[in-house]
Structure 1
Amino acid sequence: MSTTEAPAVGNPYAGRRWPVTAWGLWDWGSAAFNAVITTFVFTVYLTAEDDAGQPLFGPGVDTKLGWALAAAGVLIALLAPLTGQRADRSGRRTFWLAIHTGVVIVASALMFFVTPEPSMLLLGLFLLAAGNVFFELASVNYNAMLNEISTPATVGRISGLGWGLGYLGGIVLLLFVYFGFISPDVGLFGITGDNGLDVRVTMLVCAIWTAVFSLPVILTIRDAPRGASERVAGPRTGIVASYRHLFATVGDLWRTDRNTVYFLGASAVFRDGLAGVFTFGAVLAAGSFGFSAGGVIIFGVAANVVAGIATILFGLLDDRIGPKRVIVGSLTAMCVAGLVLFVLHDGGSTVFWIFGLVLCIFVGPAQSASRSLLARLIPEGREGQVFGLYATTGRAASFLAPTAWALALTIAAGVTGRSSDDVQYAGILGILLVLLAGLLLLLPVKAPRPGQPRPTA
C-alpha cells in the first residue's frame, strides 16, 4: 500500500513514507495502555480475587474503579478541547504530544509498585485514571497531526493504517505478555504470580513499549520554531482566556459550519455503539453463545486481527469513495449482522464466530473513517481544538451503549418473564439501536468529495 504523494505546499511531511510510518507507530505503541493496561490486564488485576475468593484490593473495588474512570472521563471532557486549542495557537503540537505521552509512560511504569493489598488500591486507581486522562489528551494532538502527514487524496488510507496498527499492536503485545509473564503460572521468562509480580512486570513492559514506539513521531514531526509559531498564533493566554476563546470559536463553528457540529454529534452516537460491540462482545460470547474463558480470549485475538487488517484495507476505499460512504456501509452491515446474530442466538458458538467476526470487520473501518472525515472537515489551524471537541462529544455520549444494553435486557426480561441472565442475547438489540441512531444522524451530514482540499479558517 502506497501512502506517498507529492507533499502539500508548505507542508514538508504530507504524503512522505517515513513520517507516515512514524505517525502510525504511535498507534501501535499506544495499544500498551488502551488495550493491555485498561482492558485486559491492570483493571482485571485490580478487581481480582485470591484463592479464598476475597478481593485482592479489598471490598468495593468495582464501584471505586467505576468512579475513578468516571472522574477521568469528566476531566477529559473538560480538558481535551482546551488543550487542543492551546496546541493549535502555540504551534507546539509535537511538544504536547511528547509531554502527554510521557505522563502515560510514567504512570504505566509506576503501576509496578501497586502490590496486591488494599492499601495500594488508591495508588492503582490514581495511576489508571491519570493515564486515561493523559492518553486521551495525547490522542487529541496525535489525531490533529493527521493533516500534517497526509494529503486530501491519502488521508483515508493513512488514518486506516494508524488505526489498524493500533489493533495489531495490541494483539502482539497482549500475546507477548500473556505467554511471557502471566500464563502458565511460571511464564516463559520465569516470572511468577507471587505478589502480583507477573502483572507488575507487564506494566514495565507496557511503559517501555509505549516509549519505544512513540519516539519516531516525536523525533520526526517537528514543531515550527518557537518564535515563529508565537508570531503566527499571538501571545500566550491564561486558562480563563483560553476557555473564553474556545467558547467563542465553538459559537463561530455553530454559526459558520454547522455541518461539522452535526457530524460531531452523529459520530459521538455511533462511536459509542462501536465501543459497545467490543465492550459487550465478550460478555455475549460467554453468556449466550457457550464460549469458555479460553475461547473468549481466542475469539478476542481473532477479532482484533480481523479488525486491524480490515481497517488498513478499508482506508484505501476511504480515499476512493469517501469516508462517509465507508461509515454508512459499515454501520449498515453491522446492523444486518447484529440482527442475524440476535435471530440465530440459539445457534451456539459457530453462529457467533461467523457473525461476530463480521461485526468486527466493520468496527475499525467505521472508527478510522470517522477520524478521516473530521480531518477533511476541519479548517486549517483548528485541528487540535476540533479533535478535542471530538473527544469531548465522545465522552458525553459514552452512556448510550451501556444504557441501551441494560434497557434491552430489562424490557426483554419483563416481556418474557425470565431473568435478565436468561435473555442476555437481547442486549444485542440495544447496541444495534445505538448504531442505527448514529447512522440516521449521519445521513444528513454533507461530506467533502474525495481529494477535495480542506476549508480555510
Structure 2
Amino acid sequence: MTLGALPDTPAPKWKVFSWGLWDWGTQPFNTVITTFVFSVYITSSAFGTENQTSIALSISTGTAGLLIALLAPILGQGADRSGRRMFHLRWQTWLLAAISAALWFVAPEPSYLVLGLVLLAAGNLVGEIANVNYYAAIDKVSTPGTVGRISGLGWGLGYIGGIAILLLIIALRGSEFGADDVRFSMIVCGLWTLVFTIPIFVALRDEKVENPPPRRSLPECYRDLWRSLQRVYRDNPHTVYFLLASALFRDGLGGVFTFGAVLAAGTFGFEFSEVIIFGVAANLVAGVSTMAFGLLDDKLGPKRVILISLSFLVVLGLGVFFLHDQGKTVFWVLGLAMCIFVGPAQSASRSFLARAIPEGKSGEIFGLYATTGRAVSFLSSTFFGLFIVIGAEITGSQETQYFGILGVVVVLLAGLLVMIPVKEGGHSFSKQ
C-alpha cells in the first residue's frame, strides 16, 4: 500500500464503471425527488402557503441531518469490523428504492404534508448512510493516481443519470406535470434505483474478515469514534481541519440542490415543466464539468478544485439574490453557472479524503466524514428558513423566499474561509 487504503494496482475498467454506476442508479432521489420534482411538489400551494411549506421542508431536512450525524460513523465502524460493507450497502440501497416508490402515497392535500416530509427525511437518512459504504468502497477501484478522475466519474455518471431519469419521466408522462404525474414518477425512481444498482453488487464482493471483533455497545462505539478522531488529529491535524471545512461547504452544496428548484418555482416563476427542463440542462452541465474537473483533480490537487468551485458559487449565489427580480433568464444563466461548480467541489472533497484514509478504516473515516458534514447540516436548511423570515421582517412581505439563497451563500463562504489554510499531501496515519 502506498497511500492509506488505496492500492497500487488499478482495478479492471468494468469494476470501476460498475462502482460509478451506483451514482447513476441512486441519482433519482437526489435529482427527481430532492431537487427538481418532489421538493417542488411538496412546497406547492396544494400543501400550504409558500413560506409555511418552505420552512417545513427546512425543518425536516435538518432533522434528518441530525440523525445522520449520530448514526453514520457507528454504522461505518460496524462495516469495517465485519467486512460486510457491500452487504450493508445492498440493503440500504434497496430500502432507498422502496422509500422513493412509497412517495406515490403523498396525495396533493395539506394533510399529506407530514407524510411527504417524513418519507423525504427517511430517504435522506438511508441515502446518506448508504453513501458512507459506497464512498468507502472507492478503495476497491482506484489508486492514488486515479482516485480524482474515478471520483469524478462517479459524480458525473450521477448527474448524467439525473438527465436520463428526467427524460424518461417526460417521455412517459409529458412535460406538463400534474400531481398524478409527480406521484407516478416516484414509482419510476424506485424501479430505476433497484435495477441500476445491481452491477456494483455483482462486481464488488465483501472480503471475509478473519476473527472479526465482537459487537460493540453504543457507548463503546462512540468512545472508539472519539479515539479515532484523536488518532487522526495526532497523525495529521490537517485532515481534521479538512473535515471541519468540508462539513461547512458540503452542507452549502447540498443547500444549492435542495432549495435550487424550490427557488426556481417560487421566486422566478418557473412552471413545473420548466423546472424539469432546467433539471435536464443542469445535470448535463454538472455531469460534464465534474468529469472534466476530475482530471484536474489528479493534476492540480483536490484543494485547488474545491477553492475555485466555492469562490465561484459564492459570487453566483449573490448574483441570484440581487438579480432575483429580473426574470427567469437570470436563473437560467446563474443557476446553470452554479451547476458547473457544485459537482467538482463534491467530487474533489471525496477524493481529498480517500487519499488520506489508512488501510482498514475506510468505513469509519467516511462515517466520520458524513458525521462532521451532518453535524452542521442544519445550517443551510436553518439559514434558508431564517433568512426568509428576516426578509419578511425587513420587507413586510410574505413572499421573501429569495432571501433564502443568502443563507446558503453564508454557509458556502464559511466553508471556503476554513478550507483556505488546510494543507493537502503528506498524509501519514497509524493503523491502531
The alignment's TM-score, normalised by the length of structure 2, stands at 0.85
State the distance in 2 between where 1:405 and 1:118 align. 22
Deviation of 1:14 (Å): 3.7
CA distance in 1, matches of 2:112, 2:327: 41
Contact 2:159 2:284 in 1 (8 A): yes
Asked if 1:165 corresponds to 2:148, the answer is no
Match of 2:90 among 98, 103, 111: 98
1:18 aligns with 2:10: no
Q: 1:65 to 1:206 in 2, by over 3 A?
A: same
Cα deviation for residue 354 of structure 1 reads 2.8
Residue 203 of structure 2 is aligned to residue 220 of structure 1:
yes
Amino acid at match of 1:100: Q
**Compared with structure 1, are the counterparts of its residues 376 and 211 closer, same or farther at alpha carbon in structure 2 (3 Å cutoff)?**
same
Contact 1:409 1:420 in 2 (8 A): no
Deviations 1:87-146 (A, max 9, x none): 111122111111211222233344455666788777655544433322111110001111
Per the alignment, in what secondary structure is the counterpart of residue 440 of structure 1?
A: helix
1:284 Cα shift? 4.5
8 Å CA contact 2:88, 2:133 repeated in 1: yes
Match of 1:143 in 2: 135
Residue number among 249, 260, 270 corresponding to 2:249 in the alignment: 270
After superposing the two structures, state which structure 1 stretch, 67-76 or 310-319, moved more.
67-76
CA drift at 1:428: 4.6
Matches within 5 A, 1:295-334: 295-334=274-313
Partner of 2:67: 75
- Residue in 1 aligned with 2:192? 209
* Aligned residue number for residue 3 of structure 1: none
SS at match of 1:84: helix
- Listed one character per residue, the Cα deviations across residues 322-375 of structure 1 (whole Å, up to 9, x for unaligned) are 000101111122233344555555654434333332221111101110111111
Q: 1:350-389, aligned counterparts within 5 Å?
A: 350-389=329-368
Counterpart Cα distance in 2 of 1:275 and 1:263: 17
Q: Go from structure 1 to structure 2 and tell me whether the alpha carbon gap of 1:409 and 1:70 turns closer, same or farther (over 3 Å shift).
A: closer
| Structure 1 unaligned regions, length at least 5 | 1-7, 186-192
**Structure 2 residue identity aligned to 1:168:** I
Q: Distance in 2 between matches of 1:213 and 1:284?
A: 30
Residue 81 of structure 1 and its aligned partner are, at CA, apart by 0.5
**Counterpart amino acid of 1:230?**
E
Structure 2 vs 1, CA of residues 332 and 111 (structure 1 numbering), >3 Å: closer, same or farther? closer
Which SS does the other structure have where 1:355 is aligned?
helix
Instruction: Report SS of the residue matched to 1:377.
Output: coil
Q: 1:279 aligns to what?
A: 258
How many angstroms apart in 2 are the aligned matches of 1:199 and 1:302? 19
After TM superposition, give the deviation of residue 252 of structure 1 in Å: 2.4
Deviation per residue, 1:59-86 (Å, 9 max, x gap): x887776665544333211110001111
- What corresponds to 2:25 in structure 1? 29
1:179 Cα deviation from its structure 2 partner: 4.0
Hey, what's the Cα distance between the residues in 2 that align with 1:36 and 1:181? 14
Q: How far apart, in 2, do the equivalents of 1:61 and 1:280 lie?
A: 12
Evaluate the alpha carbon distance shift between residue 39 and residue 405 of structure 1 in structure 2; reply closer, same or farther with a 3 A threshold: closer
Kept in 2, the 8 Å contact 1:267–1:370? The answer is: yes
User: Deviation at 1:311?
Assistant: 0.5
SS of 1:97's equivalent in the other structure is helix
SS in 2 for 1:381: coil
Distance (Å, rounded) in 1 between the aligned partners of 2:234 and 2:26: 36
Identity %: 55
Distance 2:214 2:56 in 1: 42
Deviation at 1:279, TM superposition (A): 3.5
1:447 matched to 2:424: yes
In the TM superposition, what whole-angstrom CA distance separates every residue of 1:242-279 from its partner, at most 9, and x where no partner exists? 33322322232233332111111101111122223333
Structure 1 residues 153 and 96: alpha-carbon distance in aligned structure 2, compared to 1, 3 A threshold = same
Task: Render the CA deviation track for 1:384-414: whole Å, top value 9, x for unaligned.
Answer: 1111122122222223234444565666777
Which deviates more from structure 2 when the two are superposed, residues 293-302 or residues 343-352?
343-352
SS of 1:444's equivalent in the other structure is coil
Cα distance in 1, alignment partners of residues 35 and 402 from structure 2: 22
Change (3 A) 1:320 1:169: same
8 Å contact kept, 2:106–2:115: yes
Distance (whole Å) between structure 2 residues aligned to residue 45 and residue 353 of structure 1: 20
Partners of 2:26 and 2:414 lie apart in 1 by 30
Counterpart of 2:70 in structure 1: which amino acid?
L
- Give the greater-gyration-radius structure (CA): 1
1: CA distance between counterparts of 2:180 and 2:271? Answer: 26
Q: 1:105-120 to 2 correspondence within 5 Å?
A: 105-112=97-104
Distance 1:423 1:118 in 2: 21
Between the aligned partners of 2:38 and 2:329, the Cα distance in structure 1 is 31
Q: 1:142-200 CA distances to partner (integer Å, 9 max, x unpaired)?
A: 01111221000110111111111111212211232244136557xxxxxxx7xx65444
SS of the residue 1:136 aligns to: helix
How many Å apart are 1:298 and its aligned residue? 2.7
Q: Which residue of 2 aligns with 1:88?
A: 80
Report how many residues are paired: 427
SS of 2:216's partner is coil
Question: Residues 361, 378 of structure 1: CA spacing in aligned structure 2 closer, same or farther, 3 A cutoff?
Answer: same
| TM-score for both structures, normalised by structure 1 | 0.80
C-alpha separation in 2, matches of 1:426 and 1:113: 32
The residue aligned with 2:148 is 156
The answer to whether the Cα contact below 8 Å between 1:317 and 1:326 also exists between their aligned partners in 2 is: yes
Distance (whole Å) between structure 1 residues aligned to residue 358 and residue 406 of structure 2: 37
Unaligned ranges ≥5, structure 2: none
| 1:440 partner letter | L
SS in 1 for 2:360: coil
RMSD over equivalenced CA pairs, Å: 3.6
